[in-house]
Amino acid sequence: MDMQKMNLTQMAKALRAGEFSAVELTRHYLAQIEAQDEAINAYITVTSDQALAQAAQVDRALMSGQDLPPLAGIPLALKDNICTEGILTTAASKMLSNFVPPYSAYVWLKLQEQMGVLLGKTNLDELALGTTTESSLFGPTKNPLDLTRIPGGSSGGSAAAVAAGTAAYALGTDTGGSVRLPAAHCGLVGMRPTYGLVSKRGVIPLASSMDMVGPLTRSLADNALVLNAIAGHDAQDATSADRAIPDFSAGLNKGVNGLRIGLTLDHLESKVTADFKAAVLKAAADLETAGAKIVELAPRQLESAFPTYYLLSSAEVSSGLGRLDGIHYGYRSSDYEDLEDIYYNSRSEGFGPEVKRRIMLGNFVLSADYYEAFYVKAQKVRTFIKNEFDKMLEQVDLILLPTTTDVTPKLGAKKSKEDTRNVNFFSVLAPLTGLPALSVPTDSRVENLPVSVQLIGPAFSEALLYQAGAAIMGGAGEETAQ
């Protein structure tokens, strides 16, 4: 079987059966990067020598008859805001263009325990602030399904690498939709786990109460396998949940008979194009045909979700990026006469326009004159929205929503404020509530591009999300997207 068409379980079996070696598999992916990435620009850094050394270590372990972890020898990519000891980690920003971390993120340590093979670090919107992967210091990433279009963001490089077959799987980060939006635009499976299920230690922070790491893969079974590898309690992360980790793939072939799936029809009418509304309704019909019960929901205050997210995330951005000042961390301007010049010029030269805009808004929201009027009020609305979802999830098991609201935009397309709100309208709900959300491609297509939907469930219901996702994708989760 063609390496390119194998899912992760098939790759693992083939490695153990001696159909090819880990080095041969790694060389295959490095050749794909060489052939395709000049056009796609998914990677910022390619770690060829390290990858081949890691693969050779796996081959030696296989030769000695060791019992290896499930992901041993399988090549992967990491978003370039996930710290990797000794490997350049830029977050696609001039501010961190020379940053080589002296430590690795928890998720990379977990994948090293799996004997994973790191192909390189992938492109993103600067400091993970964006939905298109066009604001990177290293230029935009293109969508492998249509090189004239964006791959989504901010984890666009990770999504593009998996969609192009230049990585077997990848990790991204999701603060307001940055795993699920690229997954949708590139026809992949993307999971944003429950807040705290996966440690954020060693991930360059954006908005710490919303940031999460999640996998991007071509199948549900692959996604569950990777999530099992990276989930778990981290005593060095105060937000990490201390709980047993189940087998997330256990329910992939159970079906959805008897499950109650919620649907919010009002917002489909006002926020989603006709084609995308039809795709969501077809996914609901497919779930109903498979035995699920569709329940109409009428949540309150969803219109407030995006402005609430934007205010709170901007406040956290301004605080979290405060250490990038040319003194503690980051680029230092050569044009200065005193300490104030260093701060001013380093941040002026080191940050791009969107990052500056969010920092300024965050500082405004946190200022003494406006703290109560904006920040405190936004926190109250966030709590209200969380309570609304808790109430809905007492009526239903899962909630079905669009991931995106319209066809994948062209590169360089001008976006109004209304466009930005609509793109993120459904994606910010999971970050605000801390709930898990899974984006899966449907069999619907618009302009020959895939249309995805997302499922949101109660905290720590990832296995159930995969179970329902399999019914939407048709099968037991082994099927690959696109």
DSSP 280-326: HHHHHHHHHHTT-EEEE---SSGGGHHHHHHHHHHHHHHHHGGGBSS
Q: Does the annotation mark 79 as catalytic?
A: yes
Residue 130 belongs to a domain: yes
380 φ, ψ (degrees, to nearest 5): -65, -40
Q: Please tell me which residue, 55 or 475, carries the higher pLDDT value.
A: 55
Q: Which residue has the tokens 């794909």?
A: 32
- Which letter, b or e, does each residue of 398-421 get, where b requires 16 or more Cβ atoms within 10 Å of its Cβ? bbbbbbbbbbbbebeeeeeeeeeb
Catalytic residue among 79, 121, 142, 271: 79
Residue 324 belongs to a domain: no
Residue 97 belongs to a domain: yes
Residue 312 belongs to a domain: no
User: What pLDDT score was predicted for residue 481?
Assistant: 56
Catalytic residue among 93, 104, 135, 154: 154
Residue 162 belongs to a domain: yes
Residue 170 belongs to a domain: yes
Please enumerate in sequence order all residues whose Cβ is within 8 A of that of 238, keeping only pairs 6 or more positions apart, or say none.
Answer: none
Q: Looking at the 3D structure of the chain, how many domains does it have?
A: 1
Q: Does the annotation mark 178 as catalytic?
A: yes
**What band does 266 get if pLDDT is binned at 50, 70 and 90?**
confident
**Contact status, residue 130 vs residue 175, Cβ threshold 8 Å:** no
Handedness of CA 88, 90, 94, 100 (dihedral sign): negative
CA distance 383 to 396: 20
For residue 371, what is the DSSP state? I
Residue 276 belongs to a domain: no
| Residues 286-337: tens digit of each pLDDT | 999 999 999 999 998 899 999 999 999 999 999 999 999 999 999 999 999 9
Token representation of residue 267: 């917002």
DSSP reduced 3-state for 141: coil
Instruction: List, as own/partner pairs, every contact residues 283-289 make where C-beta atoms lie below 8 angstroms and the sequence separation is at least 24, other chains included.
Output: 283/400, 283/442, 283/444, 283/453, 283/472, 284/400, 286/471, 286/472, 286/474, 287/256, 287/259, 287/261, 287/400, 287/468, 287/471, 287/472
**What band does 423 get if pLDDT is binned at 50, 70 and 90?**
confident
Mean pLDDT of 370-395: 98
User: What pLDDT score was predicted for residue 477?
Assistant: 57
Q: Please tell me which residue, 420 or 423, carries the higher pLDDT value.
A: 423
Residue 249 belongs to a domain: no
Is residue 300 classed exposed, middle or buried when 0-12, 13-18 and 19+ CB atoms within 10 A define those classes?
exposed
**What band does 421 get if pLDDT is binned at 50, 70 and 90?**
confident
User: What pLDDT score was predicted for residue 44?
Assistant: 99
CATH for 194: 3.90.1300.10
Element (H, E) at 442: strand 437-446
Handedness of CA 187, 189, 194, 195 (dihedral sign): negative
Catalytic residue among 104, 135, 178, 314: 178
Is residue 379 classed exposed, middle or buried when 0-12, 13-18 and 19+ CB atoms within 10 A define those classes?
middle
The domain of 196 spans 3-230
CA distance 22 to 12: 9
